[in-house]
Amino acid sequence: MILFEQEEIIVAKILRKEILTPQIKLMVVHAPRVAHKAKAGQFVILRINEEGERIPLTIADFDPREGTITIIFQEVGKSTMQLGEREEGDDIQDFVGPLGKEIEEKKFGHVVCVGGGVGIAPVYPKARALKMLGNRVTSIIGSRTADLLFWEDMMGSVSDVLYVTTDDGTYGEKGFVTSVVERVLKSEGADLVIAVGPIMMMKMVSLLTKKFNVPTMVSLNPIMVDGTGMCGCCRVTVDHQCKFTCVDGPVFDGHLVDYDELLARQRNYLDEEKRATETWLMKKAEEEVRHAG
Ligand code: NAD
Ligand code: FES
């Protein structure tokens, strides 16, 4: 079924599943019509089943020839945990995409790509697209600890230089990605910085790049419902104007985003999310006991 000019809603089969870290999973799904149209920066919304919550995920990779889309997600609540239980060969009930706008693909010069935590996945196709256009790509990826790091090889394959940080120093340089960003900007400058990760990281990167006067793109992932610009759930303030992330973004000028408002809005539903996860885990445990008995 065609939703808008671009997006398609289909049933997608999970072809491959990989456990990247205890809570971060990768799935390659067969979605040829989505893969054919996908561009770096776009996202999909999926629903596991009829009753499922809609989960927006930035596309981590796409292969039009194989007809596949790769998604990477962190199990943070009921819906992502349920998705994580799906196995190779299972279907995902609704898989809608590609949604949102792609990044501007052109030769900028020196591009610095910053990926924090799960944000490493969505920064990869952006780095790849810009590298293929002849940009010099410096990538900086970071995680809290060595065990949470993934796709160092993938990022290395699309970067001229790759820096890795961990907050606790268990791998790569000790500290946040921002300390390397500052060093690179001081030593060689940049024509564009792309940052994807936690809101605080994107805020701190944007504050830094503003000081150095370097244009900056960030990719936002606020709570979404319909993903088509109708419910207003994903609104963010950019340059003092209300924007809908699902249709106006998800990539925005990092210097113009109101990060504090975004952080506050992200916290709005924490209690409900926690309750839904606890109830689901309790039901699951009861079912397991029933089956065992
Ligand atoms: P995390 O908290 O483990 O942080 C990852 C890295 O970001 C850290 O190692 C550090 O280098 C950097 N960082 C974190 N806080 C910072 C700060 N205050 N200053 C400077 N650098 C900082 O991240 P996580 O638990 O993997 O969470 C990833 C986040 O990314 C989630 O909040 C998720 O919503 C977001 N995300 C965004 C997208 C997107 O498309 N925008 C996609 C996936 C995930
Ligand atoms: Fe509803 Fe964007 S998710 S307007």
Could you tell me if 162 and 137 are in contact, meaning their C-beta atoms sit under 8 angstroms apart?
Answer: no
Task: Report whether residue 163 contacts ligand 2, using a CB cutoff of 6 Å.
Answer: no
| Of 26, 183, 27, nearest in space to 114 by CA | 183
Average pLDDT, the chain: 91
Please report the atom of ligand 1 found closest to the CA of residue 199.
32
Task: Report whether residue 41 contacts ligand 1, using a CB cutoff of 6 Å.
Answer: no
pLDDT confidence bin for 254, thresholds 50/70/90: very high
Which protein residue has the closest C-alpha to ligand 2 atom 1?
231
The secondary structure of residue 117, as a DSSP letter, is: G
- CA of 89: how far to CAs of 29, 30, 92, in Å? 9, 10, 10
CATH 3.90.1010.10 fits 2-99, yes or no: no
Q: What is the 3-state secondary structure (H, E, C) of 225-252?
A: CCCCCCCCCCEEEECCEEEEHHHHCCEE
pLDDT confidence bin for 6, thresholds 50/70/90: low
Indicate whether 163 pLDDT > 80: yes
Please report the atom of ligand 2 found closest to the CA of residue 232.
4
Tokens 């919304």, located at residue: 45
Measured in angstroms, how far is the CA atom of residue 118 from the centroid of ligand 1?
Answer: 7
Mean pLDDT of 222-248: 92
Task: Report whether residue 256 contacts ligand 2, using a CB cutoff of 6 Å.
Answer: no
What CATH number belongs to 110-266?
Answer: 3.40.50.80
Task: Report whether residue 230 contacts ligand 2, using a CB cutoff of 6 Å.
Answer: yes
pLDDT confidence bin for 287, thresholds 50/70/90: confident
Take residue 148 and report the two structure tokens written for it.
């949470």
Tell me phi and psi for residue 223, to 5 degrees.
Answer: -60, 135
Instruction: Encode pLDDT of 56-86 as tens digits.
Output: 999 999 999 999 999 999 998 888 999 999 9
Write down the pLDDT at residue 225. Answer: 87
Say whether 110-266 and 2-99 share the same fold: no
Task: Report whether residue 46 contacts ligand 2, using a CB cutoff of 6 Å.
Answer: no
**What are the sequence ranges of the domains in the chain?**
2-99, 110-266
The secondary structure of residue 105, as a DSSP letter, is: -
Take residue 73 and report the two structure tokens written for it.
């997600």
